[in-house]
Structure 1
């Protein structure tokens, strides 16, 4: 197993960025950066002739990693110790019962078209739990409950569309905040042609960005020819595709085969309800990534290790 510090060795150490640029890219406040530097010696930027701090791509990657660890529940001192010693610190466990209550409350707020209340509920969850936990234990559960209600005829199309639009906007904002100029590698993420459901694949893109990958997210219902052109142009390390409805299964099979046949094909991963059956996993070209965004990201990092 590679050491934690190994993930930063390929980043440039050339001091290129001032503090403002680092704040914009990592979301870590300038005062926090200086406090970490004083107390823990991390990061340790070089100084210009005018005594201004100058950070490298490696500094930015380390800062972003520390931010992710503190958001997952570690103290900054634990995160720095983990970075410096490569020891394993037991990750905190969370009581998920309050999340189930928040999920139920969010469903009721969205069914009442009360987006302000739904926003307050999600903000409350994000203030307590890591982003990934909220996405899987609240957002995903909310949308499954609303989808099941719609299929059962208990929820109107308007309610389902309003809830989907709300969650899509929330995830889009999180993706925007998570973007980084990491050199860790390019991953292309998209749905198959014809697929309109993208919340799950948006979570995959978000989680990968928060782990330091450069993700090119192409959204839903992209024509196969466009996706193939983009893959050949970018030469990504991996392409991750999603299909949730059975109607799109044949499109998924065709696209996976086309990707498999391109010159120097990338690693191909797939997920979504339409592709998650045991039979599909044995016959489809590519690798099944898991049943939720967290599993998908773990599998992707395992494939790219």
Structure 2
């Protein structure tokens, strides 16, 4: 605990300024002794130090800094509340905790609560790490919201909002992994009509972690003009994902059309719909098993790179 003089000396803020910040903006609430003297806690000191840095380093005035401090505290409280709500709902192993996080995040996104969703995602990455958060939390939600939309359990707006939020979060990781300029670029897309891109995104991140530069086009990609893109970027590998069976003809047309134009082009074909092609695409067909992905990477991509 610090007296106002000690706080002033420690922080280099005049005592009169500290009093003004307290009374006018309520940025700190020091403890009062029986005699009425202010006593500042470590938390008070940190808040005052943060305010001072915002004013001096960011050129904010005290009212702006005070508003930012309030937002900062709210975010910290939200993180604590979410963490406690996830941890307190009974005992369980790490997977069960992640399942509870899936429910919390899906609920927040379904109700368009962006700030809460961001807090949950940040908490998840700090608790579980990159791989587990993507595999066990974010990708299951991408699949679930698509299924709920198809079954009438989610509106088109909920599906679009949830998908875009999660896709943007995932794409932000593309910039984390460095690319190897010696490795050929890969094109990743879903054919016309196909909106489910969770598997494609996950496979693209798998490639990025290996240093591959992935040109990610995502859902509902038209065929027209794709040949010009492939020529201009010298694309030799194309990843296509089709989950909706009704979109399989478009997926096959994509493959056959590109093979006609580029006989030496190679594919990675994923999604449940491609399972109905009777294996005619052989080693290009990929399951959701990452061991299958590794085999494609070693036997096809690296072998023909």
TM-score w.r.t. length of structure 2:
0.60
Query: Which residue number corresponds to residue 269 of structure 1?
Result: 268
1:123–1:254 Cα change, 3 Å: same
1:301 aligns with 2:287: no
Verify: 1:283 aligned to 2:274, yes or no. Answer: no
When residues 156 and 192 of structure 1 are mapped into structure 2, their CA distance, relative to the original with a 3 A threshold, is closer
Query: Per-residue deviation at 1:265?
Result: 1.5
* 1:145 counterpart residue number: 144
The residue number in structure 2 matching 1:119 is 118
Q: How many residues align?
A: 209
Distance 1:218 1:152 in 2: 26
Matches within 5 A, 1:177-256: 177-178=176-177, 180=179, 182-256=181-255
Q: What is the distance in 2 between the residues matched to 1:283 and 1:264? A: 16
For 2:186, what is the secondary structure of its paired residue? strand
Q: What CA RMSD, in Å, does the superposition of the two structures yield over aligned residues?
A: 2.6
Q: CA–CA distance in 2 between the matches of 1:96 and 1:265?
A: 43
- Is the Cα–Cα contact under 8 Å of residues 289 and 295 in structure 1 kept in the other structure? no
Shift of 1:150: 2.9
Give the superposition deviation at 1:296: 6.2
Contact 2:143 2:196 in 1 (8 A): no
Tell me how far 1:108 sits from its aligned partner. Answer: 1.4
Check conservation: 2:242, 2:248, Cα contact below 8 A. yes
Larger RCO (CA within 8 A; separation ≥ 6): 1
| Contact 2:197–2:219 (CA under 8 A) maintained in structure 1 | yes
Greater fraction of residues in helix: 2
How many Å separate the matches in 1 of 2:283 and 2:222?
A: 19
Structure-1 residue corresponding to 2:18: none
Contact 1:187 1:237 in 2 (8 A): yes
Q: Gaps spanning 5+ residues in structure 2: where?
A: 1-92
1:13-162 superposed matches below 5 A? 95-162=94-161
Distance 1:132 1:265, change over 3 A: farther
Q: Secondary structure in 2 aligned to 1:290? A: coil
Distance 1:165 1:104, change over 3 A: same
Does the 8 A contact of 2:143 with 2:198 survive in 1?
A: no
Shift, 1:195, TM fit? 2.4
After TM superposition, give the deviation of residue 179 of structure 1 in Å. Answer: 5.2
CA distance in 1 between partners of 2:138 and 2:96 (Å): 15
1:185/1:237 contact within 8 Å kept: yes
On the 8 A contact 1:189/1:219 being kept in 2, the answer is yes
Provide the C-alpha distance between the structure 2 equivalents of 1:257 and 1:228, rounded to a whole number of angstroms.
Answer: 13
Asked if the contact 2:283–2:296 (Cα under 8 Å) also holds between the matched residues in 1, the reply is no
1:234 & 1:281 partners in 2: Cα distance?
32
Instruction: In structure 1, list runs of 5 or more residues that go unmatched.
Output: 1-93
What TM-score do the two structures reach when normalised by structure 1?
0.60
Q: Which residue of 1 aligns with 2:8?
A: none
Q: Which of structures 1 and 2 has the bigger CA Rg? A: 2
Aligned mates of 1:295, 1:231 — CA distance in 2 = 28
Q: Please give the alpha-carbon distance, in whole angstroms, between the structure 1 residues aligned to 2:271 and 2:134.
A: 16
